[in-house]
Structure 1
Amino acid sequence: MTSTTAQGGAAETLDEVVEVAGRIRANVERVIEGKGDVVRTALVVLLAEGHLLIEDVPGVGKTVLSKALARSLDCTVRRIQFTPDLLPSDVTGVSVFNQDTREFEFRPGGVFANIVVGDEINRASPKTQSALLECMEERQVTVDNTTYHLESPFLVVATQNPIEMEGTYALPEAQRDRFMARVSMGYPVESAEIAMLDNRATANPLDELTAVTDAETVRRLVRSVATVHVSPAVQRYVVAIATATRQSPDLSLGASPRASLHLVRAARAWAALEGRDYVVPDDVDTLTVPVLAHRLLPTVESAMGGRSVERTLRTLVGAVPAPAPAAR
C-alpha cells in the first residue's frame, strides 16, 4: 500500500468518526439542550474506551444524559440502581445450583452489557462499589474462580450527587481513578429551560429516541481512534503535568500513571472528533480538568484556604511548558 493510499484510508476513517459521533451527539441533544461540551466529553470517553462519572445536584439531567447516550446505540444496556442494600452479586452475578442438572449455573449480573448505567453510585456500600473495580479496569468478571469476559464496547456511566451526605458513601480513590472523566451538568441556560418546559408538557423526549449506530460500528471507531498519533513531545507534556500534580504542595494525592494513560487516550479521541490524525497540546489542555481533577485530593491547608482542586490543577498546567506547535 502506498503512503498516499494509507493517508486516504486514514482520512476516510476519521470522516466516519466525525460523522457517526455527530449523529450520536445530535440525538442526545434532542433531550439534553445547551450542554454540548458535556455531551462531547461523553463521546470522547466512549471512543477512548473509558468510563464516565456524572456528578451534580439532583434534577439537572444526569440520568437523562446517561439514558440518552445508551438509547443512541443499538447495543445491550443495563441499569443498576445503587442502594444501600445492593449486594456485590447483584452487580457481578452469582452461581446458582440447578436442581435438575445437579450443577451450578452462572446468572450474569448488571454489568453484563455494553453500556451500564449506574444511578446514584455513591448510595451503595464500599463493598458493593468495589465489585466494579475488576470489570471497569480489566473488562472481566471473576465469580467462583471462573472469569467471564465482557463484550466490547463496555462503558460504565455512573451518576452521583456531590452535596447530599445522608445515606451515601464516598467513592474510594481506586474507584474514582477508574473513571476516565468526570463531568458536571450544571443548570441550563434560561432559553434551554424554557424549551424543556414546552417540550415535556405532554411527553418525554427520551421515549422518542432511537439508535443511530450499532456496537460493531462503535468497535470500529474505537480501533480507529487508537491509531491517532501522539508525538513523544506531547507524551512528555502529559507526564510533566502528572508529575506536577504529584509534587504540588496543595495536593495530597496526585495523578496516577493510569491517569496519564487516560489523558492520552482521551486526547486521541478529542483529536479524532476534530478530524485530525494527531494530538496537539491544546487537546491535552482541554481535557486536563475533566480527566484529572476527580482523582486528586487537596491538602487540609489547601481545602481550608478555599482553593479548589480544579483551580490548583489549572495553575499547575499553566506552569508546565507546552511543546512547540510543530512538534507532532
Structure 2
Amino acid sequence: MNWRTTAVTAALMMLGSAGTALAEGELNIYNWGNYTSPELIKKFEETYKVKVTVTDFDSNDTALAKVRQGGHGFDIVVPSASVVPIWISEGLLLETRPDQMENFRNVDPRWVDVAFDPGRKYTVPWQWGTTGVSVNTSVYSGDPNTSAIFLDPPPELVGKINVLPELGDILYLTIKYFGGDYCTDDKQILRKVRDKLVEAKPKWMSLDYAAVDGLGRGDVAAGVNWNGASLRQRIVNDKIVYGYPKEGYPIFMDNVAVLKDAKNVENAKLFQNFIMDPQNAALISAFARYANGIKGSEAFMPEDMKTAAEINVPAAFLDKGEFMPTCPEDIRNLYTKIWVDIQK
C-alpha cells in the first residue's frame, strides 16, 4: 500500500460522513503570521504523509482580498469570527460539516453553537483571545488598563508606542473609549474616533505588526497588542504587563475553514479533525500562546499558561470584554474610509 492509499484510508476512517474526496498528498494553509506551530505541522505531515505549505497573511482584510481575487492555491484559511459571516455569505467557504467529524466532541460547548457559524458547519476553533494594551513597566508605572495608553499617551510613552494596524480592533477600542458600541453609525462618535486617531498617530512610533516583538527587546515601550503576543513578550521581558482597557476590549476567535475552491479538500478535512484533538490543540496554544477552545487540551498546555494573566482575564475586567460583531456592509465601508484617513 503506497502513502497515497494510506492517506485516503485514514481519511475514511476518521471522517466518516464528513466527506470522502480523494487526498492529493498536499495541503496549503493560509494563516496569520507567526501563528502556526511547526511541531503541529510536522506531526500532521508524519501522520498522514501529506506535505503542508503555510503562507502568512497580516490581517483579515488582506486574506479576504487575496482569496476574492482567485487563483490563490490555498486549501485552508483562518479568518476571525467577526468576518466569517462575510466569507460564508460570499460563497468562499466549503461546508465541510465539522459537527459530524469524530473529534468534534472535544469542542468546548461554549464554542459550538456560535453566532458566526451556528452549529459549526464550516469552521473549527483555532485560537481565541483578547485585544488590549501592553506596557513596559520600567518606562511607565501607571494604570495599563485603559486605551488612553495609545489614544492619550502619557509623556513618557510618546514616540515609543506600536499599534497593530488591524482596522477592527483599533476602531473597536477607540469607539468604546468614547462610550459607543461597535458597528455604530453615530456620526458624532465616529467623528471623535477619527479625530482622536489622527491626533494620536504622530505620538506613536509605528503602526506595524512586526514591531510587536520590539516589546521584549525594549525597542517599544507600549502598544495595542493581542494577549498571546503580549505573553510571548513577557516571557522574554518580565517588565511587560498586559492591560485590559476598562472602557471595553474585543474578544476574538480565529477559525479554520476550507475554501470553496480548495484543490486538496480531503486533506483539509483531515486537518480540521486533527486540530480538534486535545493534544494537537495544545501544540497550537503552546506555540502562539492563546487559548484554543478544545476540551481536555489544558492537560497538555505549558504550565505558565494555566495561570497567566494574559490568558485568564482578571475578574474585574470580565464584563468589559465583548465578542466583536460583524458589522453591516454600509458600516464596514464607513469604517474603512475612517481607516484610510488614519493611514494617510
TM-score over 0.5 for the alignment? no
Structure scoring higher RCO (CA < 8 A, sep ≥ 6) equals 2
TM-score (norm 2): 0.23
TM-score (norm 1): 0.24
